[in-house]
Amino acid sequence: MTHSVSSPSMLYTPEQKRRRDESVWTLVQGVLAPVQFLIFLISLGLVIRCLVTGEGESAALISVVVKTLTLYAIMVTGCIWEKVVFGKYLFAPAFYWEDVFSMLVLALHTTYLYVWWTGTLQPTQQLWLAIAAYAAYCINAGQFVLKLRAARLQAQSMSLDNAEKTRLHVQPGGAA
């Protein structure tokens, strides 16, 4: 199947794909995403342990702060990546809904920082807010995993299209 540049199912134009592949920010995102996920898993374990047993409250509360700071790092560098690849810091058509949901994730994590810093909520309430922020993060991470899969499928499709075009060009009597 051949896709045109204007195909709605096409994630990257050839030029955007080239910029993505050449950008250092692609590597930065590729490193930060699993680091953030590992921090999330550790923090989630600490938060759940605290909510279930009442133990390790300080570690759980601080772990959410560390997770949130990591989220900020990946969001800032992600905006730079999006600018390099798509020419917009946020809400490029290819990542519009991921960016929209990322705003909810940021809002929940930022609210956590506020209530943690000010003590507006009790520690247990803060941890439940962290659980809500983490649930939103999981949905958003899933969106990005699906987008990565779409990018891989697009690359495979383009490779097959290019192989077919090459085959047609070298075949005697093939269309040029």
Residue 104 lies in a domain: yes
Q: Is pLDDT larger for residue 7 or for residue 48?
A: 48
Q: How far is Cα 6 from Cα 86, in angstroms, rounded to an integer?
A: 14
Query: Residue 86 has which token pair?
Result: 């798509």
pLDDT tens per residue, range 113-148: 999 999 999 999 999 999 999 999 999 999 888 887
> Of 85, 79, 105, nearest to 20 (Cα)?
85
Q: Domain residues for 42?
A: 14-144
Q: Global pTM?
A: 0.78
For the chain, the average pLDDT equals 86
Mark out the alpha helices in the chain (DSSP H runs). 14-22, 24-53, 57-86, 96-118, 123-170
Residue 172 lies in a domain: no
pLDDT tens per residue, range 42-72: 999 999 999 999 999 999 999 999 999 999 9
Number of domains in the chain: 1
Residue 4 lies in a domain: no
Residue 170 lies in a domain: no
- How high is the pLDDT of residue 65? 98
Taken in order 164, 166, 167, 172, is the CA torsion positive or negative?
positive
